């Protein structure tokens, strides 16, 4: 039998903490990148029980991993156990990537970076001077709204079933970044004008996600897409939600959440290793793992 040299005494370690963790495709994604680049790094999943997150973070630090991802349900809680967090991650209220720099743990949010990168790659446009309409006000909405504000959006409108959560995100951005956010009700007739005047429409709710694929957050609201809208859905399962199908019928450019999922991982890898992945490597990695991505 030949010696298995994939892991040696010199191999660097990264991983992901969360619960559940069995469904995660991050190990395959990161290990495929390392294989392509010839980097001596292994990425492993760690299921952490509620109440054990502080011990898990201390343990990873003591074991000198190069970094780790944080997934549901610990993206918010982990912040208080890290040595420092990026300003954007703090405003987003969530960390999904941690880097170990000389024994100190630094928190970042690459979900929002993944969103931004996939949006620009697939549409060819950025957010500067754009009017953006965001449906939903959960964790994904907050990260996206903060990112879009940092990238120079002209106006952001947030419509959510629970108004108080939309107001909370608006306050965070208006007081810390720029006074560009307003909230509105998706069912208000006044919202129709706002919606029509926006350049970019983003669904950040879980409405339309598998298995309830026949519904859209716009059902029953009277809001309808126009040809000029660029429409993004953070959902990646199914690949084409009813929201995106309706947008396509209206002639809009549409993008699903698969690129966001993929690029959050690419960006995390770049943060840990300091290697900027070329578009050729990125494309090769995507081709290799696309069949195991969840849609």
Site for ligand NAP in 252-291 (CB under 6 A): 257, 260-261, 264
Site for ligand NAP in 216-245 (CB under 6 A): 217, 234-236
The strand pairing partners of 182, in sequence order, are 157
Nearer to ligand NAP, 11 or 162 (CB): 162
Please name the residues in contact with 5: beta carbons below 8 A apart, sequence gap of 6 or more: none
Q: Are 45 and 26 in contact (CB under 8 A)?
A: yes
Which residue's C-beta sits nearest to ligand NAP? 138
Kindly state the DSSP code that residue 129 receives in the 8-state scheme.
Answer: T
Nearer to ligand NAP, 5 or 164 (CB): 164
Backbone angles phi, psi at 14, to 5 degrees: -135, 170
Asked whether the bond before 238 is cis by omega within 30 degrees of 0, the reply is yes
Nearer to ligand NAP, 100 or 127 (CB): 127
The one catalytic residue among 10, 61, 75, 284: 75
Nearer to ligand NAP, 42 or 239 (CB): 239
Which residue from 48, 85, 109, 111 is in contact with ligand NAP, where contact means CB under 6 A? 111
Which residue from 140, 146, 156, 172 is in contact with ligand NAP, where contact means CB under 6 A? 140
Which residue from 27, 59, 93, 139 is in contact with ligand NAP, where contact means CB under 6 A? 139
- What is the C-alpha separation between 183 and 181, in angstroms, rounded? 7
Which residue from 47, 120, 165, 245 is in contact with ligand NAP, where contact means CB under 6 A? 165
State the nearest-atom distance from the C-beta of 4 to ligand NAP, in Å. Answer: 33
The total number of residues shown for the chain amounts to 295
DSSP-derived pairing of the beta strands 97-101 and 104-108? antiparallel
Transcribe 40-76 into DSSP letters.
Answer: -EEEEEEE--TT-HHHHHHHHHHTT-SEEEE-TT-TT
75 is catalytic: yes
> Can residue 92 be called a binding residue for ligand NAP (CB under 6 A)?
no
Asked whether the bond before 158 is cis by omega within 30 degrees of 0, the reply is no
> Can residue 206 be called a binding residue for ligand NAP (CB under 6 A)?
yes
Strand ordering across the sheet containing 104-108: 41-47, 12-18, 67-70, 97-101, 104-108, 84-85
- How many residues bind ligand NAP (CB under 6 A)? The answer is 24
Q: Tokens 């081709």 label which residue?
A: 287
Which residue from 12, 47, 120, 161 is in contact with ligand NAP, where contact means CB under 6 A? 161
Which residue from 56, 209, 247, 268 is in contact with ligand NAP, where contact means CB under 6 A? 209
Nearer to ligand NAP, 12 or 151 (CB): 151
State the nearest-atom distance from the C-beta of 143 to ligand NAP, in Å. Answer: 8
Nearer to ligand NAP, 65 or 260 (CB): 260
Q: Are 81 and 48 in contact (CB under 8 A)?
A: no
Please name the residues in contact with 102: beta carbons below 8 A apart, sequence gap of 6 or more: none
State the nearest-atom distance from the C-beta of 162 to ligand NAP, in Å. Answer: 3
List the Cα angle 26/29/33 in 5-degree steps.
140
Binding site for ligand NAP (CB under 6 A): 111, 136-141, 160-162, 165, 204-207, 209, 217, 234-236, 257, 260-261, 264
Task: List, by residue number, the catalytic residues.
Answer: 75
């Amino acid at each position: 039998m030949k010696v298995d040299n994939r892991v040696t005494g010199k191999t660097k370690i990264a991983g992901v903490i969360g619960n559940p963790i069995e469904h995660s495709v991050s190990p395959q994604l990161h290990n495929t990148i390392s294989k392509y680049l010839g980097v001596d790094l292994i990425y492993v999943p760690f299921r952490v029980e509620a109440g054990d997150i502080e011990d898990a973070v201390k343990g990873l630090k003591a074991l000198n991993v190069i970094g780790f991802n944080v997934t549901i349900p610990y993206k918010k809680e982990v912040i208080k156990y890290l040595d420092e967090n990026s300003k954007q991650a703090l405003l987003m209220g969530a960390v999904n990537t941690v880097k170990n720099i000389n024994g100190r743990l630094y928190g970042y949010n690459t979900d929002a970076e993944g969103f931004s990168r996939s949006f620009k790659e697939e549409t060819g446009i950025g957010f500067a001077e754009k009017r953006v309409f965001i449906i939903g006000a959960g964790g994904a909405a907050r990260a996206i709204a903060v990112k879009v504000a940092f990238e120079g959006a002209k106006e952001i409108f947030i419509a959510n079933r629970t108004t108080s959560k939309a107001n909370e995100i608006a306050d965070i951005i208006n007081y810390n970044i720029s006074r560009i956010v307003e909230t509105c009700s998706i069912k208000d007739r006044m919202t129709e004008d706002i919606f029509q005047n926006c350049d970019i429409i983003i669904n950040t709710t879980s409405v339309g996600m598998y298995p309830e694929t026949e519904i859209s957050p716009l059902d029953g609201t009277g809001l309808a897409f126009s040809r000029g809208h660029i429409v993004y859905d953070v959902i990646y399962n199914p690949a084409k939600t009813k929201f995106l199908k309706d947008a396509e019928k209206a002639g809009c450019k549409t993008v699903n959440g698969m690129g966001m999922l993929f690029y959050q991982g690419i960006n995390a890898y770049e943060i840990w290793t300091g290697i900027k992945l070329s578009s050729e490597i990125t494309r090769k990695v995507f081709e290799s793992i696309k069949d195991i991505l969840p849609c």
